[in-house]
């Protein structure tokens, strides 16, 4: 009897191990497909993974990943259902709430997005993703004080937090506090000199302050650091237009269009000197 029991237990352990291995293979397949931009492949592998998984927390993770893959291919309704399933499987999963909030925001459901961020922050009042994304949503709604409050919560807890500091500088610039924002970006560049976005944002503020020569220097640095940085190419084109260098601006904007910037938007910059 003891021999039979031991054999039976070993078989169950072996079966579980093999099942786990297959799950790991499917997970790796999904990750590899996603990394290569093949989201239909990632969706198929993740759906298989969900059908095989028994652990509720892992099921929640897989559903959350599935929702993100579906969102990337424009299947928003399917993605919403997947995020709903993730939260149903694990109501304490912050990532599922923040992912669903992002989708709600993209679909124009701001109230639902705020509700999801609130749910995430009830689970962790300093969750970085929830605070930064909610701050971005506040910023888009011109609720600059609320945006700043969320970002300051992160900075107080982590004074060197790059995302919160750079987003706060952007919020200040959107509010019209250009000189203060300029100082913030200057300090950020001291701390992170190779971040192209910081040089671009500083260039944009200098342009708004009509300091075009300084702005061009920063824009040049942005595209030097990342020649495929589309917004950096556009900013440089705008500055060249302000300086009256129309042909150079056109060439710069042509580069941006080749990198994916809409031709119609480039034409607007060239028309509105």
Mean pLDDT of 94-115: 95
Q: Measure the CA angle with vertex 264, ends 39 and 237; round to 5°.
A: 100
CA torsion, ordered 67, 73, 77, 78, to nearest 10 deg:
-50
Find, among 137, 1, 105, 141, the residue nearest to 151 by Cα: 137
Q: Show Cβ contacts of residue 88 under 8 Å, excluding neighbours closer than 6 positions.
A: none
The pLDDT confidence band at residue 8, using thresholds 50, 70 and 90, is very low
pLDDT of 27 reads 85
- What are the domain boundaries of the chain? 14-124, 193-273
DSSP state of 260: T
What global pTM score does this model have? 0.82
Does the pLDDT of residue 156 top 60, yes or no?
Answer: yes
Cβ neighbours, 10 Å, residue 1: 5
* Mean pLDDT value of segment 159-168: 95
> Read out DSSP for 19-87?
HHHHHHHHHHHHHHHHHTT-HHHHHHHHHHHHHH---HHHHHHHHHHHHHHHHHTT-HHHHHHHHHHHH
CA 119, CA 219: separation in Å to the nearest integer?
A: 40
**Superfamily in which the 14-124 domain is placed by CATH:** Tetratricopeptide repeat domain (1.25.40.10)
Average pLDDT, the chain: 90
Tally Cβ neighbours within 10 Å of residue 131: 28
What integer is the mean pLDDT of 220-238? 95
Q: Domain 193-273 belongs to what architecture? A: Alpha Horseshoe (1.25)
DSSP 93: -
Q: Say if residue 136's pLDDT is above 70.
A: yes
Q: Can 14-124 and 193-273 be said to share one CATH topology?
A: yes
Per-residue confidence (pLDDT) for residue 22, from 0 to 100: 77
pLDDT at 271: 85
Residue 269 near residue 255, CB atoms below 8 Å = no
Q: How far is CA 215 from CA 59, 195, 231, 232, in A?
A: 50, 16, 14, 11
User: According to the model, what pLDDT value does residue 28 have?
Assistant: 86
Query: What local confidence, expressed as pLDDT, does residue 206 receive?
Result: 97
What integer pLDDT is reported at residue 273 of this predicted model? 59
pLDDT score of 209 more than 60: yes
Please state, for a pLDDT cut of 70, what percent of the chain lies above it: 92
DSSP label at 179? H
Mean pLDDT to the nearest integer, 109-123: 97
Which DSSP symbol is given to 243? T
């Amino acid at each position: 009897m003891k021999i039979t029991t031991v054999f039976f237990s070993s078989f169950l352990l072996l079966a579980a191990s093999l099942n786990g291995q297959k799950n790991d293979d499917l997970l790796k397949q999904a990750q590899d497909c996603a990394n290569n931009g093949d989201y239909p492949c990632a969706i198929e592998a993740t759906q298989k993974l969900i059908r095989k998984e028994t652990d509720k927390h892992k099921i929640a993770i897989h559903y959350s990943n599935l929702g993100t893959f579906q969102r990337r291919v424009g299947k928003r309704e399917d993605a919403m259902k997947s995020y709903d399933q993730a939260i149903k499987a694990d109501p304490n999963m912050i990532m599922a709430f923040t992912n669903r909030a992002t989708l709600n925001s993209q679909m124009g459901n701001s109230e639902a997005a705020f509700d999801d961020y609130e749910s995430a922050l009830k689970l962790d009042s300093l969750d970085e993703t929830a605070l930064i994304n909610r701050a971005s949503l506040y910023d888009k709604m011109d609720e600059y004080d609320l945006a700043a409050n969320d970002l300051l919560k992160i900075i107080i807890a982590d004074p060197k937090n790059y995302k919160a500091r750079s987003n706060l500088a952007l919020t200040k610039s959107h509010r019209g506090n250009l000189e203060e924002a300029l100082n913030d970006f200057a300090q950020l560049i001291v701390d992170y000199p190779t971040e192209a976005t910081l040089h671009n944002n500083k260039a944009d503020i200098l342009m708004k302050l009509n300091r075009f020569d300084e702005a061009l220097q920063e824009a040049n640095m942005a595209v030097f650091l990342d020649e495929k940085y589309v917004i950096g190419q556009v900013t440089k084109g705008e500055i060249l237009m302000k300086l009256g260098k129309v042909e150079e601006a056109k060439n710069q904007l042509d580069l941006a269009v080749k990198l994916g910037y809409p031709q119609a938007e480039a034409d607007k910059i060239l028309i509105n000197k």
